[in-house]
Structure 1
Amino acid sequence: MTTPVGDTDFLVGRGLVKRYGEAAALAGVDLAIRPGEVLAIVGPSGSGKTTLLHVLAGILRPDDGQVLLGGHRIDQLGEAKRSALRRHEFGFVFQQGMLVAELTAAENTALPLLLAGTRKAQAMSEARGWLERLGLSGMEDRHPGEMSGGQAQRVAIARALAHRPKVIFADEPTGALDTKTGAATMQALLSAARTTNSAVVIVTHDRELAAKAGRTVEIRDGLIAKEVLV
């Protein structure tokens, strides 16, 4: 199945192929993402959904096909330029949060701003503002080991949003959380993303989580098998 590419699409994958040895994790995927939309990518383990996220995010290069951001190919960029692109244009939320244990919640949140050259005082002020938006007032000086799983994941969301990215890529963002905490964390992510008009691309096994997206694509055997609009 091919997703039509329109004038309003700004992150586009065309004919994406990614192989690992003889196996094709992606076998010719076309996918277009619009500003501010929430897209869920679902499918069984080994279907290619995480590979698709990594290719769209510039973490992996496709073996064939193109990835375009704002009409410009990013798959042809060198590693340094793709790394800079990920720092400035994209935000990431992973299953385990991947916070820096030695840093406080505010310092973790401020990290992408500091890497982008924002002055420390301003970065820390903005970080505290994001933590407040995500219901973590009073926890700014706690370290990840002093927080619950849901609280730590909200810090990861704050960090992903702090530099107001164009796209947030979330790979199983609630996979390590219980159902109630996962639902609340997901709602926090979507609400916060709306304030920046960031698109959100979620890879998940959770059908209830996927149902919160505006569009769902199902990956099977490296291809889009189904697409559902809510």
Structure 2
Amino acid sequence: MSASTVDRRPGKPFLMGRGLVKTYGADRALAGVDLNIRTGEVLAIVGPSGSGKTTLLHVLAGILRPDEGEVTLDGHRIDQLGEAKRSALRRHEFGFIFQQGLLVGELTAAENTALPLLLAGADRTQALAGAREWLGRLGLGGLENRLPGQLSGGQAQRVAIARALAHRPKVIFADEPTGSLDTRTAAETTQALFAAAADTEAAVVIVTHDRELAAKAARIVEIRDGMIVGGVMIG
């Protein structure tokens, strides 16, 4: 069954990790993690520094391969794919938001947003038009031609959100997306992320130390010493 014919009803598990183990020398970052990501859900992964949160996100996203276990997307193993195919998977199926945004300083807000579309081979004119539409939806209309250095921290992070969503991925992976923002800007940015993701029915997986941000997710998973030690549904 191809990915395009798989049942994608909200709530159905479609990205799954089973028995995930990842070690760095003598340190075990993941010690046999099982985790399902459901269509359209917002999941927060919390835990202390060094607990394995970011490693888990990177393994689920195909950035890292697990030493043991497997990761499946729509029933297909992705951990066994070669680097070129995993890179293509990340370009087409996943979106990424990082703490510092990681925008390209020499590109405008619109060009940064259009990058995933351009890398996927989209026509430049159409890609930029789509980018401007996303920036407008995220409250950045009129700022399309500004460089990252001309944006506030909150504005830059909204550009990063627009970039992550521009190609309508199945999953948004966000690593401490509000970690560098003040409380008010963080709340506004989080609201913008969740609303925009809901429009595309993308799942959102957030790694965070921020308990207030985590409490806005539909589900919280806690990880310590490379193992999931608790979870709770919100609301």
Hey, what does 1:181 align to over in structure 2? 185
What amino acid maps onto 1:165 in structure 2? P
Q: What secondary structure does 1:155 align onto?
A: helix
Structure 1 residue 172: Cα displacement = 0.1
2:205 maps to which of 187, 198, 201: 201
Query: For the residues of structure 1 that align with 2:196 and 2:122, how far apart are their CA atoms?
Result: 21
Structure 1 residue 22: Cα displacement = 1.1
Q: Does 1:126 align with 2:142?
A: no
Structure 1 residue 8: Cα displacement = 2.1
Q: Does 1:113 align with 2:117?
A: yes
Deviations 1:90-143 (A, max 9, x none): 000000000000000000000100111110111010000000000000000000
Structure 1 residue 23: Cα displacement = 1.1
Query: For the residues of structure 1 that align with 2:223 and 2:55, how far apart are their CA atoms?
Result: 11
Q: What secondary structure does 1:30 align onto?
A: strand
Hey, what does 1:166 align to over in structure 2? 170
Q: Once superposed, what is the RMSD of the aligned Cα atoms?
A: 0.7
Q: Does 1:224 align with 2:225?
A: no
Deviations 1:30-71 (A, max 9, x none): 000111000000000000000000000000000000000000
2:196 maps to which of 163, 186, 192: 192
What amino acid maps onto 2:28 in structure 1? A
Query: For the residues of structure 2 that align with 1:194 and 1:132, how far apart are their CA atoms?
Result: 16
Hey, what does 1:22 align to over in structure 2? 26
Q: What secondary structure does 1:17 align onto?
A: strand
Q: TM-score, normalised by structure 2?
A: 0.95
1:37 maps to which of 35, 41, 62: 41
Hey, what does 1:4 align to over in structure 2? none
What amino acid maps onto 1:172 in structure 2? E
Q: What secondary structure does 2:30 align onto?
A: strand
| Structure 1: stretches of 5+ with no match in the other structure | 1-6
Q: What secondary structure does 2:22 align onto?
A: strand
Query: For the residues of structure 2 that align with 1:76 and 1:10, how far apart are their CA atoms?
Result: 17
What amino acid maps onto 1:157 in structure 2? I
Deviations 1:171-198 (A, max 9, x none): 0000000011011001100000001000
Q: Does 1:138 align with 2:142?
A: yes
Query: For the residues of structure 2 that align with 1:203 and 1:180, how far apart are their CA atoms?
Result: 19
Query: For the residues of structure 2 that align with 1:179 and 1:53, how far apart are their CA atoms?
Result: 24
Query: For the residues of structure 2 that align with 1:23 and 1:107, how far apart are their CA atoms?
Result: 40
Percent of aligned pairs with the same amino acid: 77
What amino acid maps onto 2:96 in structure 1? F
Number of aligned residues: 224
Query: For the residues of structure 1 that align with 2:214 and 2:85, how far apart are their CA atoms?
Result: 32
Hey, what does 1:10 align to over in structure 2? 14
Q: What secondary structure does 2:44 align onto?
A: strand
Hey, what does 2:218 align to over in structure 1? 214
Hey, what does 2:3 align to over in structure 1? none
Hey, what does 1:3 align to over in structure 2? none
Query: For the residues of structure 2 that align with 1:189 and 1:142, how far apart are their CA atoms?
Result: 21
Query: For the residues of structure 2 that align with 1:221 and 1:84, how far apart are their CA atoms?
Result: 31
Q: What secondary structure does 1:217 align onto?
A: strand
What amino acid maps onto 1:214 in structure 2? A
Q: What secondary structure does 1:10 align onto?
A: strand
